[in-house]
Chain A
Amino acid sequence: MNNKYTRYVAAPYLIWSVGFIIIPLCLVLYYAFTNADGAFTIDNVADIISYVNIKALLLSIAFSLASTLLCLLIAYPLAVVLSSVISTNSSILSLLFILPMWMNSLLRTYAWQNILERKGVINGFLTALNLPPLYIINKPPAILLGMVYDFLPFMILPVYNSVSRIDKDLINAARDLGAGYRDIFFRVIWPLSLPGVISGITMVFVPSLTTFVISDILGGGKILLIGNVIEQLFTQDSDWNAGAGLSAVLMIFIVISMVITSKYDKEDIR
């Protein structure tokens, strides 16, 4: 296989990746820094500080931070439960957490409308239990719920993988050396699962930050996230330059999260 011509077999992909990955990204930057006439400008990028855009961006950051945190808070205990308490067939069980992804994600998000709406499933339950109804549809909590719902599996998987990979004997060794539950968690389990947690965080953070679908479906079109702004610039206003400018800003966040991920990945294999 070390024939000197063998490496040219990769040429089609190389051409493809330059044409469909590198050039498009350069185009985003090109459009971001030019105006409609093709002259250089930083207006498109600077436009992020306009009232509407900065509001959308900050809102997006707030949403994505909240959804990342919630996902972590839900997924971590789940990973611990899956890898310790449940002894039987955890591979089948973890499959259960992935399976929902095989139903169209737009439809699944849309179904939450049904569950959350004024006379929906949840309020039916609440009324039956004589509890006050919950009106969160088309409000921020609904969007947050949609994000947590859509991206939770992205957190569960890496966290579960890193927690379940911890050698049981390490925990036994810690107990043997006198550690109680608190010490075992903070000195052994948590640091060893950190790589998984970090990948989980970036995997939830980036799509939460950039989504426009969830806010569309569950926000009733009234709440604009940065993703919605970009989507409208491209598909409705056909203002490529402005859209590319905001996309370039988003890419900064994505690059930061990529750098963090790769840093922790390297530490993991030290």
Chain B
Amino acid sequence: MQDKLIDLQHITKSYGSSTILDDLNLYIRENEFVTLLGPSGCGKTTTLRIIGGFENPDSGSVIFQGKDITSLSPNKREVNTVFQKYALFPHMTIAENIAFGLKIHKKSTSYINDKIKYALKLVNMEGFGDRMPDSLSGGQQQRIAIARAIVNEPKVLLLDEPLGALDLKLRQDMQYELIRLKNELGITFVYVTHDQEEALTMSDTIVVMNQGYIQQIGTPTDIYNEPQNTFVADFIGDSNILEGIMIRDKLVEILGAKFDCVDTGFGDNNPVDVVIRPEDIDLIEPEKGTIEGIVTDVIFKGVHYEMCVMARGFEFVVHSTDSFSVDSRVGIHVDPFDIQIMHKPESDDEKAVEIYE
């Protein structure tokens, strides 16, 4: 397929006895912002390093534009990396840092100078060329690290938790910067993070990983609204995860009560996992709800109230702009399309579901 820029096929990698990646398959399209999202140790950074060429997979192959580059060394790949802690050369000025790759490739001085100027402008750092890296703040160093990578005109930019060391406000600013950069450059970004908010904000496609397996691949909306298993549901946003029984298509039994839903194809009387987002629960008068509960806790969160509702032995987390006082009786109602039904995992490994839409 023309569409695939990078294709990872059956990648397996382990260190000693611990398997980091187990038969991972993933492809990345041209001009896409792909985020590898997962908790630490899920294999996302290893995946990135395999694409960058810093690690060799034990088995499997890396295909880049139709060519096998599995054993190609990093300096010969048309990808560039932005490292977690920036990795700016401390003995070189900002301009020398940016010029590094260009000098290696024997570009002319005038070309290099133009590129430095262009890159500094692109990352809003004009006039910093003669400074040393350690005189810059973390956010500034990050911009330079990006500038240093993009002057080489890579087909793909790999970013390894680039915003991890920045404080919250800066991180949010940089998210918009990155989206702007990606649109201006028109190249592929592969982004690694454990921060779900970052992933949801920036990505075209999110790849959720856990324990070396891909859990789900999809657009941010898909991932948030239709998590395919409890791990994804739990990792992305807050959620209430319950055990249920699929009575038949479009009807599920939760905590002994029957809820209408929109999912089909789970068979009859099959145990399933059910996800309900906190903001999708409507608290109404006790008699009108599907089930009844008692408010046990209320916290004001600014935009909304976060409440805990105990109902039939399960503690629901509910987000609502209306508040109910503690100990008040409430009814719980959920619209059918807000109930997300998932298969129960077959094993502890939560085998990867490989679906790419």
Contact = CB atoms under 8 A, between A and B. Distances in A.
A173 interface: yes
Contacts of A175: 53-54, 73-75
A270 B87 CA distance: 17
A182 to B, nearest CB: 10
Interface of A: 167, 169-170, 172-180, 183, 187-188, 191-192, 270
Nearest to A187: B100
B106 to A, nearest CB: 10
Given A172-B83, A176-B54, 8 more contacts: A172-B87, A173-B89, A177-B75, A178-B104, A178-B152, A183-B104, A187-B100, A270-B132
A173 B81 contact: yes
Nearest to A173: B87
Interface string B33-62: 000000000000000000011100000000
Contacts of A183: 104
A192 B91 contact: yes
Given A177-B80, A177-B100, A179-B104, A191 B75 contact: no
B152 A188 contact: no
Contacts of A177: 75, 80, 100-101, 104, 148-149, 152
Nearest to B154: A176
B104 A172 contact: no
Contacts of A174: 89, 100
Interface residues on B, range: 20 to 34
Given A169-B85, A172-B54, A174-B100, A180 B91 contact: no
Given A183-B104, A187-B100, A270-B132, A176 B81 contact: yes
A89 to B, nearest CB: 15
A180 B75 contact: yes
B65 interface: no
Contacts of A191: 91
Q: Is the interface of A mostly helix, strand, loop or mixed?
A: helix
Contact of B87 (A167, A178, A179, A192): A167
Given A174-B100, A176-B75, A188 B89 contact: yes
B84 interface: yes
Interface in B87-102: 87-91, 100-101
B89 A178 contact: no
Nearest to B151: A177
Contacts of B134: 270
B67 interface: no
B169 interface: no
Chain B CB within 10 Å, residue with most, of A172, A173, A179, A187: A173
Shortest beta-carbon contacts, A-B, top 9: A177-B101, A169-B87, A173-B87, A175-B74, A178-B104, A178-B75, A176-B81, A169-B83, A191-B91
Contacts of B85: 167, 169
Contacts of A270: 132, 134
B104 A176 contact: no
Chain A CB count within 10 A is highest, among B75, B148, B152, for B75
B213 to A, nearest CB: 26
10 contacts: A169-B83, A169-B87, A172-B87, A175-B53, A176-B53, A176-B75, A178-B101, A179-B75, A179-B104, A192-B91
Given A177-B104, A180-B75, A172 B81 contact: yes
B74 A176 contact: yes
Contact of B83 (A173, A179, A188): A173
A187 B89 CA distance: 10
B89 to A, nearest CB: 6
B145 to A, nearest CB: 8
B105 interface: yes
Contacts of B88: 173
Contacts of B104: 177-179, 183
A170 B73 CA distance: 16
Contacts of B90: 170, 192
A188 B87 CA distance: 12
B200 to A, nearest CB: 28
A178 B54 contact: no
Nearest to B105: A178
A180 B74 CA distance: 9
B249 to A, nearest CB: 52
A191 B101 CA distance: 17
A177 B73 CA distance: 11
A131 B73 CA distance: 44
Contacts of A173: 81, 83, 87-89, 148
A180 B75 CA distance: 7
A171 to B, nearest CB: 9
Contacts of A187: 100
Contact of B80 (A176, A179, A180): A176
A175 B83 CA distance: 12
Nearest to A166: B90
A170 B133 CA distance: 13
B46 to A, nearest CB: 14
Given A183-B104, A188-B89, A192-B91, A176 B132 contact: no
Contacts of A179: 75, 100, 104
Contacts of B74: 172, 175-176
